Structures are given as C-alpha cells and as structure tokens.
C-alpha cells in the first residue's frame, strides 16, 4: 500500500503496534519465551499448537471426551497426519496413570509413537485441574519424554476459579492457548509458546495452516481489550459465579442430577428427556450425550442473575410438573 | 448458552440472522446454487475452495505468479495434498493455450491428473480478464473436463473496472471467492459455490480446514456492510481510479517504466534500485522481484487524491535527482 | 527399454501377461467388476483400499484391536487424513450394534462423518465372521450409507475355515484385500474393488501412495502360484488345522486358558508371565497385551505336526513345572 | 509364529541374517552412519528419503524434469505436504546458480522455505554429474543450510561411468537411494542415511509410509546378490556400454540428432514423428516429449550387442527410407 509511513495506515501481517502491544503483554503475563501467535478459532489453536510438538508418526494422548478428538471434524488427523490416542477420562481430566496406559509400543515401528499429551483447562466437562494435578501431570510428561499441550479456550475461567495467575497455569505446559472467543471477544485465540526452541517453526506453520491474518491488529486488539484492567478475569469470574448460582438452585431438585464438579461456567446435569424437550421450547442449550438425557448449561460473561433465576425457575416448574 | 431463545444472544456457527442475510444477498448477487461459505482469509478461501474441486492425485493448473503458488507457504500442497502445475503467464493471465500446455499425461498413473484451473480476477499483476477472455477459458475448461476456480480477493475491483455485475464474472467459475479484506473489511472472505452438487462437502471441509467461526455473525456482518448501497463497488472504483491517477502521473517520467496494464488498484513499475530505496524512506510499498527493481504500488478504498499526488511528486523528485 | 516387442523383455507397470493372468483369475474368483490392484504389503492394502471409500473429513469405524488402528504407525491418519472411530470389540468382530454406537453427529460439521466400516476376516484375534454375520453387517452398512472394507490379510484362512468360496466373502464388501504374504507368498497383496465406479481412482491412488511396482509381474506371479490348484486353500487349511491341533493339546492344561475361538491359524492364551519367559527361550512368538500374560501363537502353511507337538510338549513341561 | 528359534523360519521386519548382511555391506560401501532402509520402489525411495529432510512448510528444490516432480503422481505433495520448487535444468542437472535462483523469500512466512535440494545421479536425461560438480553443489548446499538428497535409482550406472566408488558419490549427500530395480533386481531400493541424527525417525517414517516389508529378507537378498563380486558394477557398465554403442551407430545418421551426453544407459534423440511410429511397430521405447519427436532409448544389464546392432539397423533403415 503506498502510504506515508507515519500516517493512519498500519503495516500488515502483525507488524503493527496493536500486535506488538498484545504480544508484549501476553508474553509477560504467561512467562512465554517462544512467542505469541494469534489465530482465528479454537480448533486452529489446538491444531497449530500441536503442530509445534509432534511429527506425523508421533501420536497425541488425549481424553476421549476432548474437543480435539470429538469436535474438530478430524482436523488433527488431516492437518497433523497424527493419530490421537484416546483415553476415557472421568470428569474429563487426564492423570499420569491414564497417560501411562497409552504408552505401549514405544520404539516399535508398527505403533504411532506417543509424543504429546493434550489436556484442556477448563476441561470439556466443566472441571478444572488443580495446580497440584497440573504439576503432577507435567512432571510425569517431562519424565516420560512427552510434551504437554494445554487447550485454554476457557483458561480465563480456570484462573478465576483457582484464583491463580495465568503464568501459574502456563508454567506446566510447553504450548498452550488462551481463548478470547468464549470470554467475550469477537473471535480470536492466542497460542502461547513457552519455550524458545519450539517457536522457530511457528510463523510458517501458522501461515501454512491458513491462520495468518493480514489485518492482525483486529485480532490483537481483542486481547488488548481483554487484558485491560483484567477484564478477562472479571468476565470469567462472573460467568463462573453464574454457573455456581445455577447449580445451587437446580442441584437439589428432584429429577435433576448434577454430573461433574462445577468448577467453571458449565453445569452438566442428568434430566429426563421429556423435561429437556419442555425446557428447549424457550431456552437454548445443548444435549450432551447420544442417549439424550445429559444436558450442558453454559453461562457467559454477560449472563445475568435474573436470567439464571428465570432459567432455574423454569427447570423447577418443568421437573415439578412431571 | 442458556438464554431465552428470543433474547439478545444469537446462535453460533452461522445459525444467526446476519449470516442468513449475507448469505441470501450474496447467493442472489452471484447466482449461486451451491452455498456461501465465510472463511477468515484469502489463503483459506483458495484452499477451501479448491478442496471442493480436486482429490489429492488431481492437479491444479495455475499461473507461476499466482498467490496460490507463491504466497501461501505451501498450504495447497499440505492441505489438499495436490500438485500445482505452474505456467509462466505474461500479465498473470492464463489462456486456453497455456492451460493446454499442462494437460500432458492424462490417464497415465505416473502423472498427477489435471482437474482444476485456478485463476485470479484481478490477477496478482493487477490485470483483469475481459469477460470474453473469461468465457473462452471457461469454455475450454468445460470441454476439457477441468473445473474452474476463481480467486476473487480483488473481484470487486474487477467488476468495477469492467463495469459488470458480480454474476457476470461468477457465471464462468465453478467455485470462486469474493474478498472483503482487501476492499475495506476487517478480515472476511466469502467462498461461493456455483453448483449445488459441489457444495455437499463444503460444511465439513470448512470445519476440518479450521475455518468455521463460532461467532460467524461478525464475518457475515462485514459483507452486509459491503453490500449495502453497493459500498463494495464504490470502494473498488475509487481504489482503481487512484491507481489510474498514479499511473498517469508517473508513467511518463524518465526512469519509471509501467509494467502491466493498470486494470485495477495496482501499478507495477520498473524503477532503479537506488530510487526505490530513496522512496522507501518515507513510503511503504513492496519490491516485487528478486532482482530488486520492480515495485508494486497499491491503492485502496481510502487512498486520497492528495496522497497519490504527494507520492507521484516524490517519485518525480527522486527520479529527477537521478 | 529398446527390445524387440516379442522378445523376452516384458512391459512394465502391469502391462505383462503374468499380471493379466492373475488379474483375470482373481476377478473371476471374487466376482470383482472394479479391478484388481497389487500392492506391496498389508498396511498398504488397507490404506489404499480405504482411500477409494472415504475423503479426509469422513471417518472409518473399526475395532479398537484392528491392525488398521494399532499396527500401522498412523498410516491411515497421515495418508487418508481421516479419523478412525474405534469400538471395543469382543473377539475382534464388529456388529451392527457396535457400528451403530459410533454413528452420532452425522450432518454436524464438528464431527468427522462416518462413511466406511473396516473389518478383518480373519480378525486380529483369530476369529472368523460367519457368512450370516457378514451379511447382517453388510446389510446394516448399506442401509446406513456406510461402505464396507474388508482386510483380508488372512482371507484364505477364513474361506478354509468356513468351507466357502472367496466370492461368498467378497460379496459383502465394497473393497477388500486378499493376502498373499501371510499365506506363503514372498510379499504381495491384492486389493479387489467389487464395484466398477469405486475403481476409477484406483490407478492414481495406488501410484500416489507409492505402491505401483514397475516389474509388477513378480507380484502377480505370486498370485498365479497361490491360485494354481487352490494352493491358497490347501495352505490355509493346513495352517488352520495346526492351530486347532495346538489348541487341543494345550487347551486343557492347568495354567493355560484359551482366549478366543480358534477359527483360523492363531491361538490366543492366557499364561503366567514367567511361563511365557521360559517358553520364549526356545520358541519365537508374540506377547499380545501390555500386562504381559496373553500370548499369540501362530501357525503357518509350513508348520508341521511335529513342530506343534514339540511346542505343546514344551508348554506342558513349563506349566507343569509350576 | 511358533517355531524353534534356530529352525528354518526367520524373524520378520528385518531381524533376519539377510537383512543384517545386506545392511552391513551397504553401510560399509557407502560410508553410512545413519542406517540402511529397504523400500519397495523408486518413488518410495525418493519420498521416504526426503521425509527425513523436510517438514511440510519446507520446500524441495528440484529439476523441472525430475522423476520426483513429473513421474510420481504427486506423491511428494501428498505424503510430505511440501512444495517442490522447480528449476528448468539443461541436461537435467542442477547447479549452485540454479539452486540459488529459488532461494527467495527465506524467512518470509508467506513462502514455503527452501530446505532440501533433490538431484538424480544418473539424471532423468541420462547425464551424470562429475565428482567435481557434485562437490560444488554439496558445498553450496552446506553453506546455504540446504540438505542434499540424491535419487540413485541409477547410481550404479553413474559409478560405472565415472569409475568411482559408491562412497565417492554418497559423500556429497545427506540421504540417497541406491536402486536395485533398474539394475536387474526384481524390485528393491535401498535408502541410505549418511548422518546418524537424520536416521532417528526413519523406522517410523518408513512404516507410516507403507514401506516396511514383513519378509524383508527378500528385499535384502536382492542387494546381497547385486553386491556379490560387484555384480551391480558389471551390470551397469554393460548397460552403459550398450548405450554408447547405440549412440555411436545412430548418432551420425541423417534424421537422428542425439540430445544429451550419453553418460549412462539412455540415449535421447530427436527423430521425425513418422520415423518413430515406424520403429515402434517392432520395438518398445518411450517418446519423451509432448511434441512427439524426442525418444528415449534405454539399454539394460541384459541388452546384447546383437540387439543394439539390430535396433541401430532398424533406425538406419527407417531414416534412410525417408
């Protein structure tokens, strides 16, 4: 673009002040030495992040219930060419024992070689790893020559729940993501590379994976906004509080059985199928299982107490009726 | 998200009124029967679009100078698994003759099988195919069992230059893109599938290629804005006019040789290397060739006549100084 | 190669009389209308065969214990780009019910779309589908818009066990393989495409997957030999009989628990870990499970009764010793 | 397989004495420290070999006329996911200058990053690099952080022509292949990894690329035979001599123009199209160019002087006739 260098036009592909500022702030908050890379959505954050950790013949150990495994239309298999070694994980969390169960066949050329472990914090089932659990898992990974990727689409909710810094979570990962989209942004995720060496391929991997924004300032600006005055933490804390409020109101009702610890902004519950249908007439939420009686109720940065109370009242009415 | 169905929250993944409106308007404008798919950037529009047209053993014929070949860090090769059959193309345009030169080896299992032709309108060298040229190429493709993909990152500029409707251009393609980003949008491209049958895989291909936006309304809204009162055409016409103005002012200068027809918003020129360096002290533009004396001067929807005149004066000053 | 056309040199890449003969005989034996394609090994037979049935966003339903899933170092994921949807399968066999359990999410762009079912006949656990079971599964697949791939690395053993024709097995598959390597050949597998339309891509897929032999006659000749006087069936029957003989001799021993029906040439047994070690001093066989007390004892076309008896005696001695 | 460990059965997947012997002999002949890997065909040797040298966003510089680029149905693009940066190369040879012409865009995320150079020795046009040319190219590569892959499908012919040891050629490559198939073997190629570090991924890459033979001894035995008493060199020398004899007889004929230096076992010639048709009635050879008047006449280890003389006489007769 011909334009005087100091005028209103900004350079493309990340060489602009918004990207510089968001990058600097995130690097400092997370303690990253390998670079900050903005991408467009959560699936891309997972795949691009993992592409820095594995080669095609190397496998990624993940929970059967993980977004990576279930909800990305096979992006991992196509873009990475790698196998996902799945583990059934109660409450969505991996443990050293569960990871160890998928380490067979190392050194055997017939087997995809386990090389990375992918976890989500918050998990897909609305639970949080404690700092202790994270540390144990990270230590096990290091001792087992496994790299640790952390899907942080809801990392803000985890930090809010645990009352910790983002760096306290990041310290245990090799690469992680920090989600903007689920925390009020228009659509932006940051991939954070903790280790300098792992970052060398990142600019090229991002571009080849079709995640380089020419006007990157619009992604970066979303993070500048989220970081200002810790908006990210306030938004996440609020969403978490609304989920707790909801669980408190519906948890004791006959016909409603809460499923997992409510550590963040999701309430999973077992409810009779006809009650679910009745509720879905007026309310929008997901049925989680194929059997059709586990629901996922999400709260967000802008869910109000009145909304929670109205919804809880609706649950009460429907389940009382029948 | 728990939310009353008629409240402010909007459903994700494209089931919102903005996406519905942008989709309906684009379908009608382009005469598409296979669907409209929003993606995040121009590279993704090319790769996703082509993924509807070829299998990995099938090849895509394209200009050597094409963005697809040169500027996408090998995304085509990785994501499609397909070979690009490149043709040196004067002024960036393919012709039936140039395409025919790459059709050898059909039916021979040793050769990647030509199956699609990818062109750009406006081309990467700032030139436009005439409607006649497009029609001839499309007819040749149809007769040769080749599908035609059109990279429309600057399609608005082409329609403005030719004074035609978008549908007049789209009619010759099987799949094409319509770029928002280079025409003033924040970052959004639409992939337009002309033919119903070619669209069946599109929702899955887009997701697996990491291009499905959860808050798709923010992509769609950019197109709603561009389509309103033909903003897209006014912006593109203005950018084109500014390029013509620039070419008119610098074209006759000693030491400046205009390279390609100025059909859109780019002026390519041969300039001495030290003049280029001198200009780049105050102005931001690309050097195009590895030899270092072809420059690309781009204009945009917001380039002013004063900016053009100031830049042309700078060129005059630098080249006069010798 | 310059050579008089009627001299000793034979044309390459399958245009030779050996390939023509093996192809004609196999087409007739299997009732194939889509072509016969020789490849180099069993992994290639599976991946190439499936590549005719799925696109990258489509998934393959298979048994957790399948060779495809466990023993191919992620070739499916890399070469197809497709997800394997795994099902725990007792005795290694899929059923309509097990397949149905993985059909969730059809039409949902977040999910890899189930499109093929891959089974092995004989299975990896030494069991055979009955003709009835095959028919039920094939009917379920057809009704569910699923294609059926059959890994026939040990198809000869299945036909020998069931006393049926190869065509009786092939009739239920869309694409299948017929293994030479495990039935006495040097190294050759045939991929059999039952349906004409599915075969159109096959020559190109085979070449791109690096499975086209220039001197294809040496692969073809192995099948000519196997088909002559039904050598394939005699070899397989013998191997099966040796496994039954072995199971008969060791099945009743204290400390040896046979694991699956012995339908072909494999005997699976639970044996104490120290007994396994003792046996492995003199005999070569695989430990199957990571816990280390399930063994797989294979017999072959050239296993003798004396070898079986000697091995059974060794098992008896080791387990008796305590 | 149950079998007494010291009986006639041999362990699978390369743990047999034939593989051990061929591996030891080849390692010593080539001076390899990274391992010897047998694969099934020449395409696989190229792709597997390159997979040890590049990642998907990295590009391979090769001659436009290379087998890798032209004759492998896009295997490189699909299996590696990498772009081939092609260079028109007179006589099929790359030079430092030609390689340098494709090094633009290093460090720019929009461009596939040049990382390997792939050459063939003998080239696809029947020419040989001199030792000096190889050394210059290798030095340029090392200085430019480029790895060098050498397609040795006809390496024996090159060593015979140059009168050098195989190690003299291998010393300049990072990974190379040594072809058996084109030198009289049934079908086997060896991939030779010169450097220890580059070999760590090789067992897994070979398996995932579907090139692991269970009965590997049959591949290995072909190399044992070729190496015995330097059979490989005698076969190749003979083939080369037959090509020189042919070129000598037909080179001076009116209507026959030899195209490239005849360094190995191929003679390229320009001949009128109707003369080609006349010859092809009785003789089997390839027409090389799409225009239809360049032919490739190949000789082999078993081509006789009488065959050459008869063919030369046929050429003489046809061209004399007019």
Confidence of residue A246 (pLDDT cuts 50, 70, 90): very high
Neighbour tally for D144: CB within 10 Å = 14
The helix (run of H) or strand (run of E) holding residue D294 is strand D294-298
Q: Cα–Cα distance between A236 and C151 in angstroms, integer? A: 50
pLDDT average, residue stretch D296-315: 95
**Residues sharing a CB contact under 8 Å with residue B112, sequence separation 6 or more, in sequence order:** B57, B58, B59, B82, B83, B85, C208, D73, D74, D77
Average pLDDT, chain A: 95
Q: Cα–Cα distance between A283 and D4 in angstroms, integer? A: 70
Residue B2 has pLDDT above 70, yes or no: no
Backbone angles phi, psi at C13, to 5 degrees: 60, 25
Instruction: Tell me the per-residue pLDDT of A14-26, one tens digit each, with 9 for 90 and over.
Output: 889 999 999 999 9
Of the listed ranges A194-198, B56-60, D284-288, the one predicted with least confidence: D284-288
pLDDT average, residue stretch D208-212: 98
**Residues sharing a CB contact under 8 Å with residue D284, sequence separation 6 or more, in sequence order:** C1, C2, C3, C4, C5, C9, C11
Confidence of residue B322 (pLDDT cuts 50, 70, 90): low
Q: Which of residues 21-60 of C touch A (CB under 8 A)?
A: 56-57, 59
> Looking at residue D14, what is its pLDDT?
83
CA C129 to chain centre: 13
pLDDT average, residue stretch B24-37: 98
> Looking at residue C1, what is its pLDDT?
58
Paired with D119 in beta bridges are D150
Answer whether C264's CB lies under 8 Å from C128's CB. yes
Q: What is the DSSP letter of D31?
A: T
Share of chain C above pLDDT 90, in %: 91
Q: Which residues of C touch B55 (CB under 8 A)?
A: 55, 201
- Hey, what's the torsion of the CAs at A263, A264, A265, A271, to 10 degrees? -20
> Which of the residues in chain C have pLDDT under 70?
1-9, 322
Helix (H, G, I), strand (E, B) or coil at D22: helix
Residue A270 has pLDDT above 70, yes or no: yes
Contact D75 C210 (CB under 8 A): yes
Neighbour tally for D164: CB within 10 Å = 14
**CA triple A23-A28-A30, angle to 5 deg:** 95
Instruction: Tell me the per-residue pLDDT of A57-77, one tens digit each, with 9 for 90 and over.
Output: 999 999 999 999 999 999 999
Joined tokens for residue D17: 């004495």
Q: Which residues of B touch A297 (CB under 8 A)?
A: 2
Tell me, yes or no, if B82 comes closer than 8 A to chain A by beta carbon. no
Q: Cα–Cα distance between D54 and C73 in angstroms, integer? A: 19
Paired with C270 in beta bridges are C257, C294
Helix (H, G, I), strand (E, B) or coil at A190: strand
Joined tokens for residue C155: 């198809």
Residue B5 has pLDDT above 60, yes or no: no
Pick from B182, B42, B49: which is nearest to B126 by CA?
A: B182
Q: Which residues of B touch D70 (CB under 8 A)?
A: 110-111
Q: Cα–Cα distance between B167 and C135 in angstroms, integer? A: 51
Q: Which of residues 135-164 of B touch A (CB under 8 A)?
A: none
Confidence of residue B289 (pLDDT cuts 50, 70, 90): confident
Joined tokens for residue C266: 């494999």
pLDDT average, residue stretch B281-300: 91
Query: Which runs of E-coded beta strand occur in chain B?
Result: 36-39, 58-63, 84-87, 113-120, 147-151, 175-179, 189-193, 256-258, 266-271, 286-287, 294-298
Confidence of residue A9 (pLDDT cuts 50, 70, 90): low
Answer whether D183's CB lies under 8 Å from D265's CB. no
The helix (run of H) or strand (run of E) holding residue B20 is helix B17-30
> What are the residue ranges of helices labelled H in A144-213?
155-162, 166-170, 202-208
Place of tokens 């380490």: A103
Confidence of residue A292 (pLDDT cuts 50, 70, 90): confident
> Looking at residue B4, what is its pLDDT?
66
| Among the partner residues A5, A73, A213, nearest to B208 by beta-carbon distance | A73
Q: Ramachandran region of residue D258, left (φ > 0), alpha (ψ -120 to 50) or beta? A: beta
Instruction: Tell me the per-residue pLDDT of B188-217, one tens digit each, with 9 for 90 and over.
Output: 999 999 999 999 999 999 999 999 999 999
Place of tokens 């306030």: A234
| Among the partner residues C4, C9, C284, nearest to D5 by beta-carbon distance | C284
Residue of A nearest to C79 (CA): A81
pLDDT average, residue stretch D245-269: 95
Share of chain A above pLDDT 90, in %: 91
Of the listed ranges B201-215, D4-18, D70-84, D119-133, the one predicted with least confidence: D4-18
Q: Cα–Cα distance between C206 and C229 in angstroms, integer? A: 30
Contact D110 B82 (CB under 8 A): no
| Shortest Cα distance, chain A CAs vs residue B30, angstroms | 25
> Looking at residue A74, what is its pLDDT?
98
> Looking at residue A252, what is its pLDDT?
87
Answer whether C214's CB lies under 8 Å from C13's CB. yes
> Looking at residue A190, what is its pLDDT?
98
pLDDT average, residue stretch B89-110: 96
> Looking at residue B10, what is its pLDDT?
72
Confidence of residue B60 (pLDDT cuts 50, 70, 90): very high
Contact A109 D201 (CB under 8 A): no
Q: Cα–Cα distance between D232 and D242 in angstroms, integer? A: 16
Place of tokens 């865009």: D105
Q: How far is CA A232 from CA A227, A238, A246, A300, B285, in A?
A: 6, 10, 21, 12, 37
> Looking at residue D285, what is its pLDDT?
93
Determine how β-strand D175-179 pairs with β-strand C58-63.
unpaired
Q: Which of residues 202-241 of A touch B (CB under 8 A)?
A: 204, 207-215, 218-219
CA atoms within 13 A on the CB side of D193: 23
> Looking at residue A28, what is its pLDDT?
97
Contact A210 B41 (CB under 8 A): yes
Contact A57 C73 (CB under 8 A): yes
Residue D9 has pLDDT above 70, yes or no: no
Determine how β-strand B58-63 pairs with β-strand B84-87.
parallel
> Looking at residue D12, what is its pLDDT?
82
Pick from A239, A298, A258, A294: which is nearest to A65 by CA?
A: A294
Instruction: Tell me the per-residue pLDDT of B36-55, one tens digit each, with 9 for 90 and over.
Output: 999 999 999 999 999 999 99
Q: Which residues of A touch B268 (CB under 8 A)?
A: none
| Among the partner residues C74, C83, C109, nearest to A56 by beta-carbon distance | C74
pLDDT average, residue stretch D277-294: 90
Place of tokens 């050879």: D285
> Looking at residue D152, what is its pLDDT?
98
> Looking at residue C291, what is its pLDDT?
80
**Residues sharing a CB contact under 8 Å with residue D56, sequence separation 6 or more, in sequence order:** A208, B74, B77, B78, D80, D81, D82
Neighbour tally for B248: CB within 10 Å = 14
> Looking at residue D1, what is its pLDDT?
59
């Amino acid at each position: 673009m011909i334009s005087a260098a100091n005028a209103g036009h900004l350079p493309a592909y990340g060489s602009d002040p918004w990207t510089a500022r968001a990058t600097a702030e995130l690097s400092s908050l997370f303690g990253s030495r390998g670079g900050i890379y903005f991408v467009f959505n959560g699936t891309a954050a997972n795949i691009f992040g993992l592409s820095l950790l594995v080669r095609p013949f190397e496998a990624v150990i993940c929970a059967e219930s993980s977004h990576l495994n279930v909800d990305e239309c096979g992006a991992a298999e196509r873009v990475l060419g790698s196998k996902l070694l799945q583990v059934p994980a109660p409450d969505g969390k991996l443990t050293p024992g569960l990871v160890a169960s998928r380490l067979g066949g190392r050194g055997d050329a017939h087997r995809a070689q386990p090389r990375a472990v992918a976890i989500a914090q918050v998990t897909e089932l609305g639970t949080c790893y404690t700092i202790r659990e994270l540390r144990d898992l990270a230590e096990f990974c290091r001792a087992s020559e496994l790299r640790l990727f952390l899907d942080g689409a809801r990392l803000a909710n985890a930090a809010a729940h645990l009352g910790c810094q983002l760096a306290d979570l990041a310290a245990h990962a090799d690469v992680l993501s920090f989600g903007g989209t689920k925390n009020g942004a228009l659509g932006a995720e940051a991939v954070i590379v903790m280790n300098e060496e792992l970052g060398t391929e990142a600019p090229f991997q991002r571009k080849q994976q079709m995640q380089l924004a020419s006007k990157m300032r619009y992604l970066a600006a979303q993070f500048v906004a989220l970081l200002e005055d810790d908006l990210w933490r306030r938004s996440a804390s609020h969403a978490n509080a609304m989920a707790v409020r909801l669980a408190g109101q519906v948890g004791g009702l006959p016909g409603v059985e809460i499923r997992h610890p409510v550590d963040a902004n999701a309430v999973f519950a077992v409810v009779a199928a006809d009650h679910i249908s009745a509720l879905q007439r007026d309310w929008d939420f997901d049925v989680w299982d194929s059997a059709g009686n586990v629901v996922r109720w999400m709260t967000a940065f802008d869910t109000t107490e009145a909304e929670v109370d109205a919804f809880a009242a609706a649950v009460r009415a429907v389940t009382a009726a029948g």
